[in-house]
Structures are given as structure tokens and as C-alpha cells.
Amino acid sequence: MLQLRDYQAEVYTDTRAAWTAGAGNVLMMLPTGGGKTVVFGRAIYDNPGPSIAIAHRQELVGQIALALARYGVPHRIIGPDAVIRDIVRAQVADVGTSYYDPGAPCAVAGVDTLVRRENSLRGWAQSVTLWVQDEAHHVLAGNKWGRAAAMFPNARGLGVTASPGRADGKGLGRHSDGVFDMLIRGPGVRWLIEEGYLCDYRVYCPPSDFVRPGSDAVGSTGDIKLQANKAAVQKSHILGDVVEHYHRFAQGLRSIVFAVDVETATTIARNFQAAGVRAEVVSAKTPAAVRSEFLRRFRAGDITVLVNVDLFGEGFDLPALDAVIMARATESLGLYLQQFGRALRPVYADGYDLRTREGRLAAIAAGPKPYARIIDHVGNVVRHLLPDSPREWSLDSREKQARAKSTDAIPVRSCLTCFAVYERVRAACPFCGHKPVPTARSAPEFVDGDLCELDGPTLDRLRGAVSRIDGPAVPPPHLSGPAAGNFEKQHRARQQAQRTLRDSIAWWAGYQRAQGRPDSESYRRFYHVFGVDVLGAQALGRPDALALAERINGFLTEKGVRP
């Protein structure tokens, strides 16, 4: 039986505890590459009654069936005979035997096939005690995925996803638009990288004349409409830039391109071929046999670049590729994270103990892929930030999420010299050392709140505003008597609020220094997290000062610091 990693065992234990506590349907979140299939396979293995695993696309049924075969779980397959034959062959090739059993209590099905056969499956569905849905951010009470879940009224549910947010803003909770009662969060991308379960990455955003479609081009799904996306690509030079910058940043490396449509993908593949790169196009419309053959050749190295359309974004099991090339803009954070995560599967060198963190990190560093390469031609990284940026996740709709507390997510910039992407808390590119020159130094917004970069007159002005708060109250000449007394009272209240805020800022600065960050980075980080520079914060009025102190304290508490 497959053994769960420690973090997988922990998230599985949390899921079982949620069921025990009364949560009927649980949504489990693990990043792409974190092993969601392994965890839900274990849940099916442990379930004593009939169960079903539901794939959101027919072509992914085989991947789930193979995961169950690796657990030794006999299962029926609700699908066409041709699909069943392909799955049986794949299981024999992988584990030496097939676990397909048309009479087994466990089943695997694609969601479309399942809902089409709802009437014929009604009797068996009443006996099912566990349903599992992969890529469960699709599951809403009113769509086909929700209808599939509703077929099993006596079952508890488990959904798995890398990102519980939806581009259309709908919430996955039962109290909102979905069916889930509790969200279980596994470790994030950065933790998995630092522990050696995923490899690190570098992002490149080369210069591009691509103009991202505006909000008027966003459809009801929350993502950019196909024709608008396609038109924006065709108006630009992306189709040639993709090949040029592949040679610059990922030459010879096994790569996947995400393209808008088959026509555009075909053009990109032909441009690669004309440049001597072995490239092919795959999409959901590519015949299964051809798709399988292309993937076999890709794994073997006979194909270097696969240009895909709506195929590898979600759920598809891919080999450990070296680079992802984004030639399709998306407003969907979930899709972006899925695409980005495809390149983060590590390739370990032989001779290292992969049971330890040190061994895994050393094996990655010594292997053929010390880091993944992401080449973004369409501004997805600027739009959605880095995959390990802090984010708030919940089962709420976007309207409710908008009222949630802010996170310490940091915007990014692309280096003008090497085109690598880095967080704007850094004064210089960490990869080539290039330091961008501010367009002006007369206000904090020009220097990302870095007080070290402001000119003298600006610093004097900001310090003057702070000094007026710290000094005695000076009522305007037209105020006298009770009005002047009230002014002085308000001034003292503002000073007291500022003392509270400055204590919080001092704790913030101490935490930053404990992390080994220089003052310049600390200033920038404060500005991007809280939306105000450090000196400007010390000139805020009483309500704003107290509100900011509360936000800082909340941030520090999340980091384990108690101000």
C-alpha cells in the first residue's frame, strides 16, 4: 500500500476529524504536486462501504483508477468500453495486474457519464457511503458536479483542489453556492519547496506587446472570453516571441506551452518546428491514442515541447517537465496556479536519502532540474503574483472574502536586464543585481515606501507631519474656550493612538530584523502589506492609527509573534 508523507497523513487525519465532528462534505486543499490523488486514494481504501471517485473530465478517469490500483482497491469503471480497456492495459503496465472489477463496491466515473446514468444507478447510489471529487473547485450546488454529489444522499463527501477560489467569485461552502461544510488546508507551495517535495522556480517576463483584455472581455465564468483572448494574442508578437525566449531561457528543456486555442497552438508548434525544436499540439480534441503517444514520446525525450489547449491545466498527470510557457492570459487564479505548478515536480539525483529534508534538497540541487522555469508572455504573474504568495482561502463567496483581513502578498516586478521576476520588497534584482532607478524620489509611492530612497525635502516634509503630532496642541487662532479645549483633547487622543501604533510598528521592525531583512526591505514590505509608508503611518489620525495597529498586530500574531 502507498505510504502517506507526514503532511499528507496530517491533512488526511484532519479530514477524518472533520467528518467525525459532523462535517458532511469536506474540501481538502493541497497545492499542485502535493499528492491530492494519493490522499483521497487512501480515503477510499479506508472506507468500509461502497464509494465512488468522480473525475471532472473523462480522460482523467484512468489516472484515478490507476491510483486505486496502486492501493490494491478493486473498482468498477462507469464509462465506455474503450475507456475501460485502456485503463486495464495501463494498470497491467504499471502494477502488473488490473484491479478492474465490474462487481466491486468502489467505482470510478467521469462526471458527465455519471449524471447521464443517474436513473440506472439510483439503487446502487443509495448504498454509497463516500464520494470523492477531484478538482472540486468546480462543485457548486446548481451545476453538474453538484448534481453528481446529490446522487449519493447517504454518503459523506471529499473534494480535493489546489485552489478553492473561483474566477466567478462563487463560494464553495454549503452556506454559499457550493456543497462543502469545512475547508482543510494542507501546507503551502513555499513550505513544500523548502522541505524538498517540490523544486524551486524562476519566473521570466520578457518584454511583450501583448495587451491584456480588459474587464469588458471577461465572461460569466469570470475568465477572459476565448475570442477576446485569441484576438489579443494575434495582435501581438507572442507567436514568435514564445520560440525566441524559449531559446533564451529554456533551450533544449522539456517544456509545455499553454495556448489560447488550437489554431494559435498549431502556429506556435510550427514556429518551434521551423526553429529545429521537436514540438507537437495536444488538446482535448486530440484522439486519445495520439495524445498517449505524444505523452510517451515527451517522457522519452523524443518531443521537447508540447503546445496544449485546455488539457494540462487541471488534473492531468504529467512527467517532471522543466519549463512552463504561458501564452494564454487567464483571470482564474486557480487555473494559473495549476499551470504554474506543472513545472514544480522535482527530479532527484540518485544516491541521496529522500526520507530526509536535507537529502531531498541535496538531490534536487544535484539533479538535472535545480529549479523550474516559468516564461510568462501574458502578464499572469503580475496579475496573480507568485504561487507561494500568502492568500486568504475560504468557502465564502468573493463578496464575503472581500471583507476578510488583508494578507502580506507582495507585488512583483520584472528585471529590465535579465527579465527575471522578483518581489518588489527587494531594491535590486536578486538574480543579476540590476537596481532600477526610481522615476522620482519625491513621494513614497515612487520608491515602494523605501525611506532610504526618498530625497531630503520629502523626508523633511514627512518628518514634519510626525513632529506636529508629537508636539503640543496648537489650536487654530479662530478657536477659543470650549472649542480650543476640545481640540486639545482630540490631539491628546491622537497622540495616545499613535503611541499604540508605534509600539506595533516597533514589534514589526523587530520581527523583520529577526528574519535578517535590512531596513530598506522592511520599509518596502510594510508599504506593500499595509498600503502606507512607515513615516506616513506615524502621522495618521486616531481612528486610522488604531485600525492600522490592529492590522499589524493581527499579522504578527499569524507569524507567532505576540505584540
Confidence grade of residue 404 (pLDDT, cut at 50, 70, 90):
very low
Q: Which of 372, 392, 457, 376 is nearest to 201 (CA)?
A: 372
**Boundary residue ending a domain (348, 382, 416):** 382
pLDDT score of 402: 43
Length of the chain: 563
Whether residue 54 is found in the same domain as residue 121:
yes
Whether residue 494 is found in the same domain as residue 368:
no
Whether residue 207 is found in the same domain as residue 170:
no
Instruction: Return d(Cα 479, Cα 489) in angstroms, integer.
Output: 13
**Boundary residue ending a domain (188, 216, 238):** 188
Whether residue 225 is found in the same domain as residue 178:
no
pLDDT score of 336: 93
pLDDT score of 409: 78
Rg of the chain, C-alpha, whole Å: 27
Whether residue 222 is found in the same domain as residue 113:
no
In a domain, 433, yes or no: no
Is residue 407's pLDDT more than 70? no
What's the pLDDT tens digit per position in 190-208?
A: 999 999 999 999 999 999 9
Whether residue 127 is found in the same domain as residue 260:
no
**pLDDT average, residue stretch 482-505:** 91
pLDDT score of 406: 42
In a domain, 439, yes or no: no
In a domain, 437, yes or no: no
Is residue 94's pLDDT more than 70? yes
Q: What is the CATH number of the domain that holds 308?
A: 3.40.50.300
In a domain, 19, yes or no: yes
In a domain, 133, yes or no: yes
Q: Which helix or strand (DSSP H or E) is residue 282 part of?
A: strand 279-283
Of residues 484 and 203, which shows the higher confidence score? 203
pLDDT score of 548: 96
Distances (CA, A) of 171 to 35, 140, 145, 222: 24, 8, 14, 13
Confidence grade of residue 313 (pLDDT, cut at 50, 70, 90):
low
Is residue 72's pLDDT more than 90? yes
Is residue 518's pLDDT more than 60? yes
Average pLDDT of the chain?
A: 92
pLDDT score of 561: 87
pLDDT score of 284: 81
Confidence grade of residue 56 (pLDDT, cut at 50, 70, 90):
confident
Is residue 235's pLDDT more than 90? yes
Q: Which of 123, 88, 134, 130 is nearest to 107 (CA)?
A: 130
**pLDDT average, residue stretch 25-34:** 95
Whether residue 156 is found in the same domain as residue 265:
no
Instruction: Return d(Cα 174, Cα 148) in angstroms, integer.
Output: 15
**pLDDT average, residue stretch 319-341:** 92
**pLDDT average, residue stretch 308-331:** 84
**Boundary residue ending a domain (382, 404, 435):** 382
In a domain, 400, yes or no: no
pLDDT score of 315: 58
In a domain, 410, yes or no: no
Q: What residue numbers bound the domain in which 145 lies?
A: 6-188
Whether residue 378 is found in the same domain as residue 484:
no
In a domain, 421, yes or no: no
Q: Which of 20, 18, 16 is nearest to 4 (CA)?
A: 16
**pLDDT average, residue stretch 107-120:** 94
**pLDDT average, residue stretch 250-265:** 96
Whether residue 259 is found in the same domain as residue 117:
no
* Helical spans, DSSP H, in 21-60: 36-46
Please give the full DSSP string across 377-440, using - where no structure is assigned.
Answer: SSSHHHHH--TTS-----SS-HHHHTTSPP-----EEE-TTT-BEEETT-SS-TTT---PPPS-
User: Considering its fold, how many domains does the chain have in total?
Assistant: 3
Whether residue 363 is found in the same domain as residue 474:
no
pLDDT score of 488: 87
pLDDT score of 558: 85
Question: Position 245: which residue type?
Answer: H
Whether residue 224 is found in the same domain as residue 147:
no
Whether residue 77 is found in the same domain as residue 168:
yes
The backbone torsions φ and ψ at residue 413, rounded to the nearest 5 degrees and listed phi first, read -135, 155
pLDDT score of 401: 47
Helix 262-274 vs helix 238-249: crossing angle, to nearest 10: 50
pLDDT score of 316: 65
